[in-house]
Amino acid sequence: MRVIIASITAILVSSVSAFAGMKPIITNIPTLSEWGMIAMVGAIGVIGAIALRKRLATKVR
């Protein structure tokens, strides 16, 4: 939540600064690297497979 508020604040400050003719403030936004994205997809896949197995195991036929 803090990141979202900080991002919105940075955008608003940059917009006001640009409108006033001042130099805009550039803020870096953290992102995942290629390997981080691969690991995230793998983790989500494993969690999804576990959830699916539990759902199918508890399903009454």
Q: Where are the domains of the chain?
A: 1-30, 32-61
3-state secondary structure of 16: helix
Contact 40, 31 (CB under 8 A): no
pLDDT of residue 2: 77
* pLDDT band, residue 51 (cuts 50/70/90): very high
pLDDT tens digits, one per residue of 1-46? 777 888 778 777 666 655 666 666 677 777 888 888 899 999 999 9
* Threshold 0.85, pTM exceeds: no
List, in order, residues 6 or more apart from 30 with CB less than 8 Å away: 3
pLDDT of residue 17: 57
What Rg value do the Cα atoms of the chain yield, rounded?
Answer: 21
